[in-house]
Amino acid sequence: MTNPKIDKVNLEIEKTKAKISEFQTKLRALERQKTDLEDAQIVALVRSERISDAELTALMASLRSNGKDAAPAEPKPISTRQEEPRNANQEDN
């Protein structure tokens, strides 16, 4: 004798597993697409600098030998607005 409630839950479990599998496949495809776009962006950047293969190889070797600290840091944004120091007694508007 089968229990209809258990059958219903088992059916829901199978549907959920199928959806998870679909989403995992979709996630892998999206991750591949992201990697491809990042790769294309890197290639375009390198080509825009017009450096030779030898120069690029030397740059990469230098970065590897010096570790992550050798990579150029992101420039800090320059504030165009001068702010006055806030007084602790000032109220926010």
> Does pLDDT of 59 surpass 50?
yes
Say what the pLDDT of residue 2 is: 85
Distances (CA, A) of 49 to 42, 43, 53, 73: 11, 10, 12, 18
State the amino acid at position 67 in one-letter form.
G
Confidence of residue 77 (pLDDT cuts 50, 70, 90): low
Do residues 46 and 56 touch, judged by C-beta distance below 8 A? yes
Hey, where are the domains in the chain?
4-69
> Does pLDDT of 91 surpass 90?
no
The residue with greater pLDDT, 36 or 92, is 36
Closest residue by Cα to residue 70 from 61, 83, 80, 81: 61
- 33-44 confidence digits (pLDDT tens): 999 999 999 999
Region 16-39 average pLDDT: 98
pTM for the structure as a whole: 0.55
